[in-house]
Amino acid sequence: MTKRFFFVVFIALTSFLTTSAQSGALRNDLGNSFRNVDVVRLNARDAIRRARSDRPIALAAAAGTFELAVAPHDLRAARYTALDTGADGLRPLDRTPVTTYKGKIVGTNGSEVRLTMDETGIEGYFSTGAERYFIEPAARYSKLAAADEFVVYRAADVLRDKSFICPQDLAGKMQDGEKLVWSGSQTLTANGLKAVEIATEADSDFVASAAGPAGANAKILSILNMVEGVYETDLGLTISVVFQHTWTTPDPFNGATTDTLLNSFQSYWNANFPLAQYARDTAHLFSYKPTVRAQGYAFLSVVCGNRDFAYGLSGRVDVGWGWEEANFLVTSHEIAHNLGATHSDAVPNCANTLMNAQLSGSTQMTFCSTSRNEITSYVVANGTCLTPRSLARFDYDGDGKTDVGIFRPAVGEWWLNRSSTGVTVAAQFGNAADRIASGDFTGDGKTDIAIFRPSNGYWFVLRSEDGSFFSFPFGAAGDIPEPADYDGDGKTDAAVFRPSNATWYISQSGGAGTVIAQFGATGDLPVTADYDGDGKSDIAIFRPSNGEWWLNRSTAGTIAFQFGSGTDKCVPGDYTGDGKADIAFFRPATGFWYILRSENFSFFSFPFGTVGDVPAPGDYDGDGKFDPTVYRPSNLTWYISGTAAGTTIVSFGATGDSPLPNAFVP
């Protein structure tokens, strides 16, 4: 039986999204746009408050009531910058509040929710896995709709004779990719899960259509949030926006055709925003020029290859269409060209999917198997420049940042300070004898509260999606829990290290069964991490007797180093941002940190902390690098040396608490 727990900040769930009293006139008017449609009345501010306080949003529609559990999802990288070119030249733009959200439907495996929410409204989609529903303001389709009325519909219900094209086969844009023959099936787990770093451009027409540069950037982030939902589900790829540029003065681009527009965009950016200064994997132009509306164009197979040609464009559909979904389709299609996908019109079983040259209302937001194979094969073979996806440990809200949090053994309580909202939540789960064993066991991008019970070898996992829990036996008394993603499928695997025989037991979530590996000796300590950057955690040990590290790397083989002493605390992690964990230790006697760079095996050291501090490193600022961090029990204070955000001091905890990010420090 599934038992349900809720964080203490939860309140009794009430549905605030109720089917509105739909007037006959409004229904008739919407009938010009949809075969079937629901109209719901909702308060956007209430929806945002719910999302930011971990309360599901209940949406009552004809297909049923859906509980949408979402959290803020900022696609912008820690190094993100935004610039605008106006009459007075180039000026920086402030970083705006997060309006993009992602999550799941409570109780629905394989579901996906992507929303954009601000005080003016809500738009996006939610997918059950079998069916995808879109939600957007009803006023886009009828002047009779009130500001708080929204339509919920399926793509198949759209009555539009509009279509849009990608003239990809013209003007030599196919390059050598048209001759590639793809076969078989590959997944990105071969080289780990990847993030595509995108820079965006909004021409002056697009900026005007979005009421200014801030609105243009927000609209682009909204589109990319929806695009990422498909890329993450179908391909295991995420999107990281590193730079945005807008034009509030007339832009210099030649918009006569899609070809001239793409070429002029490419030339201007190569000269004015070169890769050396504005590092990125690809750049994408969002245009509203009349000649390119509802069209897209991109260079093929250029990411990580011919990087001076890593460009594409999306022509925003005419705002008079009132069909926002079309923008998601165009951009998903064009970015895929950069990643090696060709048109799939003539391919069996690819009808009405994203890589068709002509897209329409019947196009589904998914890649067919052939397109998936093209992209994953290209990334596996050529995606060396893509950044391994940042999956911060102890990231309970899925924003890519480690959260400050503690376990209170005396009462079995977990207290988490979520970095996405600043809201503190708590749950009672476990007892004083249990071991912290958190990880993303369900693959939703959020760390699940979890414990290992040494007395009987049972694991207990509290799902982040809906607060229900499950348990299973794996291990025995005396085992040390070492949960991590050993098979690279994006889910944490239950694993234990058995000191009595120096053996590792790993229950692979990818379905490959249990791995049993003898690695180590009596007295060794487990120090698992991804030391070779292939997206898989590696079996590894530290030998206190002589300060040796032994790494059994899943791709690069076994290697050993002498680094540290028996009294040091092992804190491996990616401190340099190269996608590989660095060997590292904290010396309690002096408060010094020592890092052995994975790039060249040189080391550096620095002081951060004092005697009595507890090391609790993690990626607290979301820049893909570990931040040296200590928890000071004497004053219940956290000291975080952020590589992007600087030093942060946080008071959080009580006497006797255990800092969660210290759980796997031997």
**Residue 309 CB contacts under 8 Å (≥ 6 apart), including other chains:** 175, 266, 299, 302
Strands lying side by side in the sheet with 592-596? 569-570, 583-587, 592-596, 603-607
**3-class DSSP state of 541:** strand
As given in the structure block, the two tokens for residue 634 are 């004497």
Q: Which pLDDT score, from 0 to 100, does residue 175 have?
A: 40
In this prediction, residues 383-397 reach a mean pLDDT of 77
Q: Which residue has the higher pLDDT, 527 or 487?
A: 527
The pLDDT of residue 124: 92
Q: How confident is the model at residue 568 (pLDDT cuts 50, 70, 90)?
A: very high
List the alpha helices (DSSP H) in 155-282: 204-209, 213-235, 258-272
pLDDT higher at 156 or 664: 664
Q: How confident is the model at residue 5 (pLDDT cuts 50, 70, 90)?
A: very low
Please, which pLDDT band fits residue 29 given cuts at 50, 70 and 90? confident
Confidence of residue 628 (pLDDT cuts 50, 70, 90): very high
- Whole-angstrom Cα distance, residue 74 to residue 616? 24
All residues at 6 or more sequence positions from 275 whose CB lies less than 8 Å from its CB, including other chains:
307, 308
User: 533 and 515 in contact (C-beta within 8 Å)?
Assistant: no
pLDDT band at 10 (very low <50, low <70, confident <90, very high): very low
107 - beta bridge partners? none
Find the length of the chain: 666
Phi first, then psi: give them for residue 632, nearest 5 degrees: -105, 100
The predicted-structure confidence for 344-388, as pLDDT tens digits, reads as follows 888 888 888 888 888 777 788 889 999 999 999 999 888 778 876
pLDDT band for position 181 (50/70/90)? very low
What is the spatial distance between Cα 404 and Cα 385, in angstroms, rounded to a whole number? 31
The 10 Å Cβ neighbour count of residue 194 is 25
Q: What is the distance of C-alpha 304 from the center of its chain?
A: 21
Closest CA to 439 of 425, 429, 449: 449
If DSSP codes are grouped into helix, strand and coil, which group holds residue 124? strand
pLDDT attached to residue 423: 85
DSSP 507-523: EETTTTEEEEEE---TT
DSSP letters of 232-245?
HHHHSEEEEEEEEE
Note the pLDDT tens digit of each residue in 281-330. Answer: 999 999 999 999 888 999 999 999 888 999 999 998 877 766 677 888 89
pLDDT score of 389? 62
pLDDT tens digits, one per residue of 453-502: 999 999 999 998 778 889 999 999 999 999 999 988 778 999 999 999 99
Q: Tens digit of pLDDT for each residue in 200-214? A: 999 999 999 999 999
Q: How many C-beta neighbours within 10 Å does residue 369 have? A: 15
Write out pLDDT tens, residues 637-648.
999 998 777 899
Looking at this protein, which amino acid is placed at residue 117?
M
pLDDT in tens, 333-344: 999 999 999 998
Return the closest-CA partner of residue 501 out of 484, 520, 482, 529.
Answer: 520
pLDDT tens across 90-112, in order? 999 999 999 999 988 888 888 89
Q: How many CB atoms lie within 10 A of CB 597?
A: 16
Residue 64 neighbours by CB under 8 Å, 6+ apart: none
Cβ atoms of 151 and 38 within 8 Å: the answer is: yes
**Domains, the chain:** 1-75+99-159 (no CATH), 162-389 (3.40.390.10), 404-662 (2.130.10.10)
Q: Per-residue pLDDT for 392 more than 80?
A: no
163 band by pLDDT with thresholds 50, 70 and 90: low
Residue 23 has pLDDT above 70, yes or no: no
Q: Per-residue pLDDT averaged across 555-580, rounded?
A: 91
280: its two tokens:
């990125």
Residue 462: strand pairing partners? 449, 469
pLDDT computed for residue 410 by the predictor: 92
